[in-house]
Every structure is written in structure tokens, then in C-alpha cells.
Amino acid sequence: MAILIGDVAPDFEAETTEGHIRFYDYIDGHWAVLFSHPKNFTPVCTTELGYTAKLKPEFDKRGVKVLGLSVDKLQDHAGWAADIKETQGTALNFPLIADTDGSIARKYDMIHPNADNSLTVRSVFVIGPDKKVKLKIEYPASTGRNFDEVLRVIDSLQLTAKHSVATPVNWKQGEDVIIASSVSDDAAKEKFPNGWKAPKPYLRIVPQPRG
């Protein structure tokens, strides 16, 4: 059964490049990104892991724990990590899970028989502090993921979880946002005392809330 947005993310225990972890204990009140790789020593994944390692300070700034997953053995991860450092200029700096029996991949529905019976597709899960799935993206094996977009979505998710707003198309940190449809005009006057622009009654635009 597929994991959907709003579902509780399955817990698991795993061996990783940073030791044994229990997922729930590892994230413990943090946001998390879990992303899968078809297998070790694949060219696209090598670039993805290197770039994500470069972005680690940005994830840290947002309080986000990052975990990669591969169905290959833990002892193979060390050689791949060396290749990542050599070719991408950044060493692996977050746990890479060795899901050798595929049990985690099956829990998260990362293996698609129509694509391959054993290899994971390029899945990305963003999981909130409440351990619920907030975002799910899947890419084909031939297409590298956009981790700048993952950060952008995390910015939106964290903002909208705290304030009664939604973010418009192509929104970036610091840009105007939309008052959520669930907020009445009377309630909006209390939340946004400086008012808003409304080209249509249902489209109420305000500066991004701070704090």
C-alpha cells in the first residue's frame, strides 16, 4: 500500500554509514528528508549525494535531518563515499542506510515493479516533527533530483505549519504569501492587522510573516 501525504512515516531500524539507528529516535522532534538511490556506484546518485552534502548546512539551519538509502551492503558504501568525495568535492556528511533486504524500501513503497523488481526509484520523503509525511516526490532513475527545490518546499512547509498562509507558484523565502482559505476575513484582520491586497476576494496577498 502506497505511503501518502499525511500518513505516519513507518519507523525502522537500520545500519548506516554513521552506525545503527532507529529512525524515530534519530529524527526525534526534527524535520527529516529520506531519499532513496537505485544502487551504489550509479552516476546520477553520485552527483545527488555530493550536492546534498554541500547543502548540509542549509538543512541544518532549518533543523532538518537528512538520510540517504541504498539497497547495497554497508561495506560497499565506504568505497562509494570515497568516489563521491573525489568527484563531487564534498564528503558524505549524513547517514547512508544499507537496506540490503529491501525492507525499508518496501515499507516506503520505493520499489516499483513496473520500473524494476529490485531497485528503488528516486523517492524523496519530507517528514515533519509529528512523524507524518509532508511531501513525496518520485523521479525516474534517469533523472537527477532538484534538492534546491526540496529546500524551497521545506521553507514553505515550515512557514505554513506555523502561520495561517499558503505559498503561491514559484514562491521563495521572503516573498509574499497568500492568506489561507480557511481563515475568514474577520480572523484575517486579527492575524494580519496591516491588511492585505486582494485582486479577488479569495486571493488575499500579504508579506511573509516573520518569526
Instruction: Tell me the C-alpha distance between 32 and 134, whole Å.
Output: 10
- Spot the catalytic one: 21, 34, 45, 188: 45
Cell numbers given for 98:
544499507
Let me know if 45 is a catalytic residue.
yes
Considering Cα of 171, then 173, then 176, then 178, what sign does the dihedral take?
A: positive
Residue 207 carries which DSSP code? P
At 151, phi and psi to the nearest 5? -65, -40
Instruction: Tell me the C-alpha distance between 11 and 96, whole Å.
Output: 16
Residue 91 carries which DSSP code? -
Provide the greatest CA pair distance for the chain.
Answer: 60
Cβ contact 108:123 at 8 Å:
yes
How do beta strands 31-37 and 64-70 pair? parallel
Q: Exposed, middle or buried by CB within 10 Å (0-12, 13-18, 19+), for 185?
A: exposed
CA–CA distances in Å: residue 111 to residues 9, 95, 116: 16, 21, 7
Return the active site residues: 45
